[in-house]
Structure formats: structure tokens, C-alpha cells
Amino acid sequence: MDDDQNVKETVKHNIAIVRERIAKACRRAGRDPAEVTLVAVSKTVDAARVIRAYELGIRDFGENWVQEAAEKVPRIEALSTWHFIGHLQTNKARKAVELFDIIHSVDSLRIARAIGKAAASLGKEMRVLLEVNVSGEFSKYGFNSEDVSAAVGDMIRVPAICIQGLMTMAPVVSHPDEARPYFVKLRQLRDRLQVEYPEIAWQHLSMGMTDDFEVAIEEGATMVRIGRAIFGERTKVNQPLS
Ligand SMILES: *Cc1c(COP(=O)(O)O)cnc(C)c1O
């Protein structure tokens, strides 16, 4: 087998395993696997491998950096959905709105306004999720759980954005089950916001990564963001800042 064939076989195998694990987690939770979107996180993964994943049926891709995505998005079929999952700076908002279909990582009113402004000028309505720092770790972006409700009150008036739910990253833990309380917290926050702001659909909970996605599904995730379990360990260490 040549290298390319090897890569394809590995990615194919990985995708099959991840899909099976998603199906099993859904079965345990009495959920329909169709409710859970597998977002393949392709940060640091070159376009050729992203194309292999597309050929293997992946239609949702997640990227953390606008500049990196700008090189890949135009090369992959227009039929795919691109999810922005990194921290977004206001000066990159316009480019992000151009490239992406949904932004998971709205973590301030300021960035929501920048996204809305860019989307309005591009004649687009941008789907967004609000990132919540449920663990309260200093190293993480996202609204504090206590601040989300007030932020939604402001954001609801921002034109050209469509709020669809919440996103979080659980802390790094030694056993996936230890991440469960954070996922429960995000779901309960969503439930409260649903009562407070019934005019918003709140249909998405973006939570769960390679190390904890099954637990996240058991707790209601509708989008899981999975990188390493599909593409293997990331080798690049020096990431751009945005
Ligand atoms: C990198 C990243 C992921 C994917 O992480 P894996 O551990 O490779 O599955 C998911 N979400 C966010 C926000 C990320 O930055």
C-alpha cells in the first residue's frame, strides 16, 4: 500500500470505530444517533487528509484558526459544513463569517456584534453557539455560567446572527466519567435559558471530544467535536494564535 492508501485505510477504520461508539452511547441513552452530528476536527490536518475524510462520508469539519481554514475550505466540496470552534478575534470575524457555516465559540458580546456586522454586510445569517466556561478554569475562554443569561439578553438584539445553543469544553480529566458533571451543567443551563428565552430554539449542545464524547452524548450532546480519534495524534506543536 502506498502512503495515501495507508492514510485512507486508517482514517476509514477510525471513522467506523467512532461512529460505532457514538451509536452505542446513543443506545445507552435511548437516543437516535441521527440527533448527533459528528464534527471531524481537522485543525493541523492537511487538506489531502481532509479530502480523504470527505470521501469517506464526513460532511462536518471543525477548525480552530481562520487562516488555516482559508487554505482548506475552498478545496473541499461545497456540500460540507464548516464549524469554527476556536477563539475568534474581532479582526478575523469577517473572514470567519465568509468561510464558516456555524461558529461554536461566541464568548463575548463584542465578538457577537462583530460577527453580526460582518454577516449583515455579506447578506448572511450566521448560526452561532455561545461558549460557556462551565469549569471556571482560568485557561479557558467562554462566558461564566452566571453571565450567559444577561449576555443572551443583549445578543438577542444583534442582527444577522441566529443563536442555536451552547458549547463547552470539559477539563482534562483522568477518566471520561469525571467530565460528566460539566456536561450536565451545560445541559441544565440550556434548559434554564429555554424557559427564559423561548424565542430562541436552543437546539444544540456542542460538547464532547476524543476523550469524553460518549459521556457527552449520554448527557445530551447534539454535536461532538472529534479530532484525534479520527485523524490521529496531532504532531504540530506551534499553533498560530488565531
Ligand atoms: C481540538 C479541539 C477539539 C478536538 O479535540 P480532540 O481531543 O482531538 O478530539 C474539539 N473542540 C475544540 C474546541 C478543540 O480546540
**CA of residue 236 to ligand 1 center, whole Å:** 14
Q: Above 70 in pLDDT, residue 3?
A: yes
Q: In the predicted model, what is the mean pLDDT of residues 37-51?
A: 95
Q: Is 225 in the pocket of ligand 1 (CB under 6 A)?
A: yes
Span from the CA of 188 to the centroid of ligand 1 (angstroms): 23
- pTM (two decimals): 0.95
Q: What is the pLDDT of residues 70-104, one digit of tens each?
A: 999 999 888 899 999 999 999 999 999 999 999 99
Q: What is the pLDDT of residue 7?
A: 82
CA atoms within 13 Å, Cβ hemisphere of 72: 30
What is the structure's pLDDT at 241? 47
Res 146 pLDDT > 80: yes
Q: What is the largest CA-CA distance in the chain?
A: 57
The protein residue with its alpha carbon nearest to ligand 1, atom 11, reads 225
Which string of DSSP letters, residue by residue, matches 9-48? HHHHHHHHHHHHHHHHHHHHHT--GGG-EEEEE-TT--HH
Contacts of 192 (CB under 8 A, 6+ apart): 149
pLDDT attached to residue 78: 81
Give percent of the chain above pLDDT 90. Answer: 91
Q: Are 91 and 137 in contact (CB under 8 A)?
A: no
Q: Which atom of ligand 1 is nearest to the CA of 43?
A: 1
Among left, alpha and beta (phi > 0; psi -120 to 50; other), residue 204 is beta
Any atom of ligand 1 within 6 Å of the Cβ of 92 = no
- State the chain's mean pLDDT as an integer: 94
pLDDT-based confidence at 239, cuts 50/70/90?
low
> Which residues in the chain belong to E strands, given as ranges?
37-41, 60-63, 81-84, 102-106, 126-131, 161-167, 204-206, 223-226
Asked if 63 contacts 85 with a C-beta cutoff of 8 angstroms, the reply is: yes
Distance 41 CA to ligand 1 centre (A): 6
Taking residues 134-140, what's their average pLDDT? Answer: 94
Query: What pLDDT sits at residue 216?
Result: 98
Quote the ligand 1 centre to 103 CA distance (angstroms). 14
Task: State yes or no: pLDDT of 242 exceeds 60.
Answer: no
pLDDT of res. 111 = 98
Please report the atom of ligand 1 found closest to the CA of residue 104.
Answer: 13
Q: How far apart are CA 152 and CA 112, in angstroms?
A: 10
Cα(35) to ligand 1 centroid in Å equals 20
pLDDT tens, residue by residue, 158-202: 999 999 999 999 999 999 999 999 999 999 999 999 999 999 999
pLDDT for 4? 77
